[in-house]
Amino acid sequence: HPKKGRTQKYRLTLLDGVTGRVIAEELLNKKDPDTIKEFLGRHLDPERVTFVVTDLYPSYPSYPKVFMEFFGENLIHQFCLLHLNKLIVQDFQKKPSIEELHTMYRLLNIFYNREQELEVLEAMAKEEREVKQGNAKEYKAWLTKARSIFRAVVYEIKLKRRREKKNLEQRPYLKAVEIFKGLMDEIDSFDTKVHKRLRKIEKNWDRFTAFYFVEGAPATNNHIENYYSTSLKTHRKRQFRSDEGIENQMKLSQMKQAGMLEGCKRTLLEVFYRFRPFLAPG
């Protein structure tokens, strides 16, 4: 959501999920369902079977309906699993107990293998139940230390994956079904937020698992997240005073994404400043 001065603008982008290349991008004044459908109509064929990945934040409740109205039966709609995991984490308080962390990682374990973290948390949860029976002050100190140790464990696991150039292991479909079924069997034992999250996953199961049935299809919209992270940086947004300024930065991002700036010794920012007429003075 870039801004022209104090005016909110909306950036609609279509990215190829396989190549990561931009299919289409426009800067618009609004993002209501009709605007989105008009944008799709300018760039996509509704008669062609299309696999679409979107996030699932509450601010975008109309996405499924918009895409269904545009593509009809030709739509294969995947909800981003990365955003699902972010929402799961947000369901828990910032300083959870070890038992709560264990529950959180059980949900994160549905589509991605978090067995290493769960093994550590299971041992810690057992110790937590014993410590809680004693002095409250001692438990508070223990919990602070335990959370710190677990953060270090998570960091080391992530570091090991990076050294080995591996991604977080994705669950095979049947394993994901098995784990989710196990959680649903215990749904009444969880608190309200976890209960609601499991019901939402159950309701949208087809949209969380569509990628399993389309060869090479992505389970996340990481491509678009990475693309946006390279353009319209927060500390530069304040300098845009025209649609042209924003659009030029978008074009430069597309050039970088397409490899058109490879071999160019100037940084993206230096190239960008060649378009100074589109920037506010200073």
Instruction: Examine residue 22 and state whether it is found in any structural domain, yes or no.
Output: yes
117 and 75 co-located in one domain? no
Rounded to 5°, angle at Cα 223 from 267 and 238: 50
- For residue 113, the enclosing domain spans 87-191
97 and 39 co-located in one domain? no
71 and 157 co-located in one domain? no
Q: Where are the beta strands (DSSP E) in 6-116?
A: 7-8, 10-15, 22-28, 50-54, 75-79
167 and 103 co-located in one domain? yes
Report the alpha-carbon distance of residue 89 to residue 152 in Å, rounded: 18
Structure tokens at 100: 């709560």
Strands 3-4 and 7-8: antiparallel
41 and 108 co-located in one domain? no
Report the alpha-carbon distance of residue 115 to residue 106 in Å, rounded: 9
Instruction: Examine residue 200 and state whether it is found in any structural domain, yes or no.
Output: no
Report phi then psi at 50, rounded to 5: -135, 135
Q: Check residue 137 and give its pLDDT.
A: 94
Helices (H) and strands (E) in the chain, counts: 13, 6
145 touches 152 (CB < 8 A): no
Q: Which of 108, 274, 130, 112 is nearest to 198 (CA)?
A: 108
- Please count the structural domains in the chain: 2
Report the alpha-carbon distance of residue 200 to residue 203 in Å, rounded: 5
Q: Check residue 260 and give its pLDDT.
A: 47
**CATH code at 42?**
3.30.420
Q: What Rg value do the Cα atoms of the chain yield, rounded?
A: 23
202 touches 177 (CB < 8 A): no
Instruction: Examine residue 216 and state whether it is found in any structural domain, yes or no.
Output: no
Q: Please, what's the b/e burial string for 154-191 (b: 16 or more CB within 10 A of its CB; e: otherwise)?
A: beeeeeeeeeeeeeeebbeeeebeebbeebeeeeeebe
Segment-wise mean pLDDT, segments of 10 residues, the chain, 282 residues = 61 85 89 91 95 78 83 95 96 96 99 98 97 94 97 96 95 98 97 97 96 94 80 50 51 51 47 40 41
Instruction: Examine residue 255 and state whether it is found in any structural domain, yes or no.
Output: yes
178 and 99 co-located in one domain? yes
Q: Check residue 93 and give its pLDDT.
A: 95
